[in-house]
């Protein structure tokens, strides 16, 4: 079930990203990041009404307090990356998160991956390099240089590292509560904390037209589904494996980038995706 939940997480994340990028074409980055959270709240609040509230210990609160500021920083960088660079160039670098998790999940949770699992994770991360392989025509180091020329890619690499920490802290919080409770509670609190930041970046007021409601509601709803399936999958397996499978969202993102935003070089970028997919298969076989 963790594989199914992780793939559903990937699909809804890619869908929310595509909807977010479309919404960003005419709105402030902070507004859209805030709106994505706010429109995710109805489903999350509804879920809280139908589950048992677990007893919460000190470890749960430590995990939440440590993860929250990192999550907000990552969300801002993530949204900026979607705005400044092509979807198919930025999102694939989230595949680096599982690579960072080999170390971070061991430090924070004491989790270890198998040799085959580690190879699968490394394959997924190396696919990010291949996404810019067209830049190697003139220079073997071209792909690396292309990464550093693309601001959105750099931002997403930073996001990938932050997520390796917050994913581990999230797993810790889940172990001391429950998947649905933590997912709902955590993102409700994040929306409350992020609102003053969004207000400040929008000159003290946030307004939207009737025209904004439908696309932002779709963005928020798909994001809330991503949260639910993410937490369920995370509770069933090791963090590095779950996040690796979640990063198959890049396959959906490449398709969205090509068909919705007319982003080019799809064939070359698909090579990198194929390498990541091979890593995914190895991880699944390992588990």
User: Which pTM value belongs to this model?
Assistant: 0.85
Element (H or E) spanning 176, and its range? Answer: none
pLDDT band at 184 (very low <50, low <70, confident <90, very high): very high
pLDDT tens-digit map of 88-108 = 667 667 778 888 999 999 999
User: Closest Cα to residue 163, out of 225, 239, 109?
Assistant: 239
pLDDT tens-digit map of 125-151 = 777 667 655 555 555 555 566 667 778
Q: Where are the alpha helices (DSSP H) in the chain?
A: 2-24, 29-38, 41-48, 58-84, 87-90, 96-109, 115-130, 142-149, 151-175, 179-201, 210-234, 239-246, 249-261, 266-286
CA 44, 244, 271: angle at the middle one, nearest 5? 120
- Residues 85/180, Cβ–Cβ less than 8 Å: no
């Amino acid at each position: 079930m963790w594989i199914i939940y992780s793939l559903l997480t990937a699909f809804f994340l890619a869908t929310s990203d595509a909807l977010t990028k479309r919404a960003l074409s005419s709105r402030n980055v902070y507004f859209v990041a805030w709106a994505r959270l706010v429109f995710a709240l109805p489903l999350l609040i509804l879920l809280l009404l139908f589950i048992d509230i677990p007893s919460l210990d000190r470890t749960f609160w430590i995990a939440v307090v440590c993860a929250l500021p990192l999550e907000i920083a990552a969300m801002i960088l993530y949204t900026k990356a979607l705005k400044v660079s092509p979807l198919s160039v930025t999102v694939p670098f989230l595949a680096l998160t599982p690579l960072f998790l080999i170390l971070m999940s061991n430090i924070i949770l004491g989790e270890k991956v198998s040799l085959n699992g580690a190879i699968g994770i490394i394959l997924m991360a190396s696919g990010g390099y291949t996404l810019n392989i067209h830049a190697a025509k003139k220079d073997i180091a071209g792909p690396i240089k292309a990464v550093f020329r693309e601001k959105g890619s750099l931002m997403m690499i930073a996001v990938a590292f932050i997520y390796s920490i917050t994913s581990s802290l999230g797993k810790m919080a889940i172990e001391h509560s429950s998947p649905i409770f933590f997912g709902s509670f955590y993102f409700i609190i994040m929306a409350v904390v992020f609102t003053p930041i969004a207000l400040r970046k929008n000159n003290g007021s946030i307004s939207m037209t009737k025209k904004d409601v439908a696309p932002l509601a779709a963005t928020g709803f798909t994001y809330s589904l991503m949260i639910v399936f993410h937490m369920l999958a995370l509770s069933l397996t090791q963090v590095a494996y779950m996040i690796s499978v979640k990063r198959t969202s890049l396959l959906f993102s490449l398709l969205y980038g090509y068909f919705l935003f007319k982003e080019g070089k799809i064939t070359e970028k698909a090579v990198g995706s194929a390498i990541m997919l091979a890593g995914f298969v190895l991880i699944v076989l390992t588990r």
